[in-house]
Structure 1
Amino acid sequence: MASNPVLESIPTPVAVDTTKQVEAAPEPTVEQTSLEKPRSELTLRRDKAVRNTIVNIVIVEAKGLPDSPDDRNSHGVYCKFRMGSQTHKSKSVPTTRHPQWREKLKLNLCSDQLLHISLWDKGKQKNFMGSCVLDLSLRERERTHDIWQDLDEGFGSIHLSVTICSTRQKESNEVANIEPNVEDWQSKYAFYSVPSDLCVVGQLHVKVIGAKGLCGKPSAYCTIELDNEKIQTPYISSTAEPVWNKSYVFNIYDVTSVLELKVCDSSINSILGDFLGRVSIPLLRIDSGEVRWYALKDNNKRRIAKGNCPRVRLEMNLCWNPVIASLKLFRPKQVKYIAKPPKFDIPLIYKNVKFIRDTFNFLFAINESFKRLFEWEDREYSTTVLCSWLVFWYYFHPWMTPLLIAALFPVVWFLDAKQRTDSRIQNGDDSNDHEEEVQNGESMKDKIKGLPEMTLTITDGIEYMVSVAERLHNLAKFKVPYLSYLAIVLLIGSAGVLYFIPIGYLMMAFGLYKYGRKRINPTRVLNNDLLDFISRIPDNKILKDWKELNVPEPNHYHQRLSASTSVTPDSKT
């Protein structure tokens, strides 16, 4: 049988023992499996930590945006945020080149840690204005970042405040606690050193140790806020004595700022909502390095919060440059991004109206006391005041004015301390607390009854001040030319007297004149010369009373009509 050359050219398959190859393949060693297993666990742990991390975002403003289309329609600009499958749409504000939202939102951190932001113009049609992507993996955890992000596909930039916080204690412990290096801070913010950022005057290190006496067994957490920086601690579940032991660092932009700490409950079955207590701590009252308890107050910050003497334990270290901080006190104060809306508070209105009434009554009492002083009702007291007045103006120089103002501080402090001491002796408690209890004891009915009297006093005082202002304005407008010319002559004469005679001698002569009028004219009426002159000037109400009306001219038609009616029938015949 002839062989096929094509088939002969194809090599015959050879059986291969696959079992030997499989057996020949080296098995993974113990070292390899031990390396691969922790790597997968680390990845899972990182993903879990990301899921237990929240991103607090405050949409502040934008600038440099393009103008809206001129189509005679109202336009509004809004922002869209996207992180993974989560989306958020901000409120719409009128479209300008510098819109402001001042809105806050909260998102869960996703595995890619990318925050997508886009701006849209809302009119008759939606117009795209720009977008950007923010990589949160480059941002430090447990810190508030003030970010100006440029828009990639458009014009302008957007201003955000971003804070990344862990909500679970286990994942939060992976972020290293920042322990303060007090020596480095003191050298960095010493009065002789110039910091790299002149806006930051110092740093505050806050360690939240724990709390006790909270109401119930909440899933407690703290929010710590300083100006526009806000941090949140992890949740501690089902305990009235949570322990956090977390440290945070805040930049200080104003040394007169106040640290606001609020303890909240994240559980669903919270009786008091999410609020458990709060405390306000001024930075200037912080003792650096001291560990102490702070009592938690209610939402109004007047009484202790509900619970078994609820309190929080803190350790704070504060370092700041006194020179830079003092200079910043004369600059505009930093505006908070999220401000509380004003509310109608009847007790607050009553308190303010009462304060204004007491102020007017105090001014009237001071005026009456000066009048009696010049009348020599108490000869010894009037003589002492007159001699002190003469000695003061004899030795007075203009450079002494700041010293005299500075001398008022210890005097007021001494009087206030004396008043508090007397009040403690009488009431056994602080005077302010006693006054507050008295005010709280007043019923709403009593407050409403007292409003007409207080309103009448305030109305009279305001009406008097408005009348004086109108009279001075009418004096400058020559509504009564004689009084205006007289005022000009007196002012020119006063300038000449001040030029030739020192101010001290003039004030001494003024004091002698005031105190000597009683001796010269014992039957005179108590008065104030300047106010008496101003009272001769008319205010706007008096000018309206003085306004003359035009005399109407006689109407010939009415004259003929009256003449025709006056003709009798006998005269016609």
Structure 2
Amino acid sequence: TLQELYLSRASKRAKKITLDPSHTAHSLFELLPSGQRYRALSTRTARHRNSTSDPYVKFKLDGKTLYKSKVVYKNLNPVWNETFSFPIRNLDQKLFIKVYDRDLTTDDFMGSCGVELNKLELENSEMVLPLDDPNSLEDDMGVIIIDICLSVRDGKNKKHVSNFYEFKELVRQKSQLWTGVYTITLVEGRDLPLDGQADVFVRFKLGDQKYKSKSQVKKVNTQWRERFDFNQFPDTSTILEIEVVGKGGRRYEDCYGQCEIDLSGLALNESTLFTHELDPGRGRVVFLVTPTPCTGASITDLVAPPLEEPHERDNMLVKYSFRNSLKDLRDVGFLQVKVIKATDLMAADLNGKSDPFCVLELGNNRLQTHTIYKTLNPEWNKVFTFPVKDIHEVLEVTVFDEDGDKAPDFLGKVALPLLSIRNGQQVACPLRKENLGGLSKGTIVLELEVIFNSIKASIRTFTPREQKFMEDNAKFSKKVLGRNVLRVRNLYRAVCHANQFIKSCFQWESVQRSIISFLVFVLTVWYWDFYMMPMFMVLLIVWNYLQIASERVTRDLESERKGLMEKIHMVQEIVITVQNLLEEIACCGERIKNTFNWSVPFLSNLAFLVLIMATVITYFIPVRYIILLWGIHKFTKKLRNPYAIENNEVMDFLSRVPSDVQMAQYTELSNCSFHSPYRRRKASP
């Protein structure tokens, strides 16, 4: 391979070069740790209960991670045999090598060592480096063995170095592309212990992909019936990790057991049933795994986009044509995204520049561009393609600033629903903030095209939506709370307006409107059939479509700036509104409950008699006639008695039933003593 050829040549050159003091001042060196082996790790440092670890190695220089090895599972003497190279401008630095143990939640530190670069020789040298952890009580943390080759990067070998980095970039791009999909169906848990834990859920992990099932009330045989997908990447782990967890409180969790499955040997397009034992006496977990090949994900240059090749476009149009509507219903469509450039980005570095790269996410599929350094107007000119499993998904394009070993800085984000894409049109989208609520600085230029089958998309609409593997934990925000209260208030006002309209018809505020409403009500009730329900919904959709077609309403979620006192009053109003709403809901539910549990015998007796009468009436008289008589009574009540007060008899009855809070506040006379205060004073000496 290109990598092996480059390493052999670099090794030969390194043996012929003698170290010159001028090189350290003016030349660019390259360091090749050519294959690291992790050996003689003490079993006392194993992090797992089965006395094994899942180690991997990080190489750090000047606070930045230069390379991260793959994970070797269940091994205290792992062998990596991985090779990489990086340039060095200053030999007066120290290369840090840190070993970690991969875990489901957080990775455990297993030791580190360092290499002084100015002590290296220009030749291949094998080094045995003992690991050290100042916070560990263990004396022997194991050793790591590496082969390091230091060579001078002069004009003659720059071409080879550039070829190596082109190869590395190609490997990085290929590592993003998935070649298949593991469809996992979590069926149930069997013979789970009925201890104090209230809920139980399951965690799945495949490489860096994670999924957490819904929490279910624990039973002996807890049913989940959930299905999700993990992408299969080349040269990555195929070990599926499963953990069943019981949750008793907000923070307390109890692990019922873990198991691991190697998915590499499963047959394609065939479902395999797994039933794995958990810890002794703690039950089993049952799930299905179906590996399927996947095509459609790619990263190419702008000069050769896939859909601009005539044969490729024709194949896609045929694949998602009407005649193939019932083939592979999970493959809905194909998306092509051209990431052209971004302009006027936010400066994230101290030099007034940024190192931007772009991340594209469609559901749980994620691809990213290369990084362009020291610019606010990057031009990526890359083409990404995604398989579409749900036409209702949203493409999220996020621009980050690379920050070395630290987490990347957020620069901007856009969210584009697939159904809103206009094929072949180049659009300049203004970047938004991380919560998509307001505008950030800069724009990104994209060109999108989506091809999909409408029949498959329609069928997919009535199936469960795919959940995201990694979602941020919800945090309290007064802005979000205020927005949600406002949304609920708007819905409540819409219901109130509809209720007010109905009352105005009963009150005969407009004679023409009341007559029309009365005739529509009588005819609808008299000739009512079930088909009228969807017919009314169709009429409502058509009416709203005509309203939208006549005037487009623009939505702006960015609220206006408010002063400090206005914000304080807004928070107070929100808290009071939520408090009153929760009180009304709780009171209504408690009054209904207290009606049936004889908290107030008189009201329960009254409800009992009314329900008996309603049972007899509905048995002998059809419901259609009862509704018709009720409507005629409501419409003619104002005509018969102009001064009648509009009311709701059911709500009037419930208002007399006390809630639980009122029941606790009231004083029961049976618990009171009936002695007179006058006699009590007289009896006292």
What TM bracket, shorter-length normalisation?
0.5 to 0.7
1: CA distance between counterparts of 2:657 and 2:260?
A: 58
Higher alpha-carbon deviation: 389-398 or 297-306: 297-306
Alpha-carbon distance in structure 2 between the residues aligned to 1:155 and 1:273: 34
Task: Give 1:500 shift.
Answer: 5.3
More strand by share: 2
Find the aligned partners of 1:37 and 1:202 in 2 and give their Cα distance. 36
Q: Aligned match of 1:285 in 414, 420, 425?
A: 420
Corresponding residue number in structure 2 for 1:326: 458
Aligned to 2:364: 228
Contact conserved, 1:201 with 1:255, CA < 8 A, in 2? yes
Moved more, 489-498 or 336-345: 489-498
CA contact (8 A) 1:265 1:274 kept: yes
Partner of 2:324: helix, strand, or coil? coil
Q: Cα RMSD (Å) of the superposition?
A: 4.8
Residues 503, 213 of structure 1: alpha-carbon distance in 2 compared, 3 angstrom cutoff: same
Matched, 1:385 2:534: no
Amino acid at match of 2:361: E
- Label 1:102 to 1:414 Cα distance change in 2 as closer, same or farther (>3 A): farther
AA of the residue aligned to 1:205: Q
Kindly indicate whether residue 177 of structure 2 is the aligned counterpart of residue 143 of structure 1: yes
Return the alpha-carbon distance in structure 2 between the equivalents of residues 76 and 326 of structure 1.
51
**8 A Cα contact 1:296 1:312, kept in partner:** no
User: Deviation at 1:208?
Assistant: 2.3
2:476 to 321, 331, 344: 344
Instruction: Report the residue type matching 2:339 in the other structure.
Output: V
Q: If the length of structure 1 is used for normalisation, what is the TM-score?
A: 0.62
Partners of 1:284 and 1:176 in 2: CA distance: 25
Structure 1 residue 465 and structure 2 residue 585: aligned? yes
Give the Cα separation in 1 of the matches to 2:636 and 2:107: 65
TM-score by length of 2: 0.53
Amino acid at match of 2:633: Y
Q: Is the 8 A contact 2:412 2:432 kept in 1?
A: yes
2:389 to 253, 272, 275: 253
Q: Distance in 2 between matches of 1:527 and 1:293?
A: 56
- In structure 1, C-alpha distance between the alignment counterparts of 2:597 and 2:660, rounded to whole Å: 12
Determine the C-alpha separation between the residues in 2 that align with 1:192 and 1:499: 53
Deviation at 1:502, TM superposition (A): 4.8
Q: 1:298 to 1:137 in 2, by over 3 A?
A: closer
Deviation at 1:79, TM superposition (A): 4.9
1:156 equivalent in structure 2: 260
**What one-letter code is carried by the residue in structure 2 that aligns with 1:411?**
W
SS state at 1:287 partner: coil
Q: Helix, strand or coil: the match of 2:582?
A: helix
Post-superposition shift, 1:458? 4.0
TM superposition shift of 1:454: 4.5
CA distance in 2, matches of 1:536, 1:320: 58
Alpha-carbon distance in structure 1 between the residues aligned to 2:470 and 2:548: 36
User: In 2, distance between residues paired with 1:474 and 1:323?
Assistant: 51
| TM-aligned CA distance change 1:553 to 1:484, over 3 Å | closer
Q: Give yes or no for contact 1:260–1:279 (8 Å, CA) kept in 2.
A: yes
**Counterpart in 2 of 1:297?**
432
| Equivalent of residue 334 in structure 2, options 186, 195, 203 | 203
Deviations 1:329-355 (A, max 9, x none): 333322222212323322222222333
Q: Distance in 2 between matches of 1:379 and 1:274?
A: 65
Partner of 1:535: 655
Q: How does 1:471-486 map to 2 (within 5 A)?
A: 471-486=591-606
CA-CA distance at 1:411 after TM superposition: 2.4
- Please, which of 181, 187, 193 is the counterpart of residue 324 of structure 2? 193
CA contact (8 A) 2:240 2:263 kept: no
In structure 2, which of residues 519, 530, 535 is the aligned counterpart of residue 398 of structure 1?
Answer: 530
- Give unpaired runs (5+ residues) of structure 2: 11-30, 33-47, 58-68, 70-81, 84-96, 109-136, 139-169, 180-230, 242-257, 265-298, 348-352
Name which structure has the greater RCO, CA cutoff 8 Å, separation 6+.
1
Consecutive unaligned residues of structure 1, counting only runs of 5 or more, are 1-35, 46-50, 53-67, 70-74, 94-99, 104-123, 126-135, 161-170, 422-429, 567-573
> Could you say if the C-alpha distance between residues 380 and 477 of structure 1 is closer, same or farther in structure 2, counting changes exceeding 3 Å?
same
How far has the Cα of 1:42 moved from its partner? 10
Aligned to 2:398: 262
Q: Indicate yes or no: 2:445 matched with 1:312.
A: yes
Q: Distance in 2 between matches of 1:549 and 1:468?
A: 27
Q: Report the equivalent of 2:280.
A: none
CA distance in 2, matches of 1:77, 1:283: 46
Q: Determine which structure has more spread, i.e. the larger CA radius of gyration.
A: 1
Q: Greater helix share, 1 or 2?
A: 1
The Cα of 1:501 is off from its aligned counterpart by 4.7
Identical counterparts, % of pairs? 26
Match of 2:626 among 472, 491, 506: 506
Distance 2:611 2:540 in 1: 32
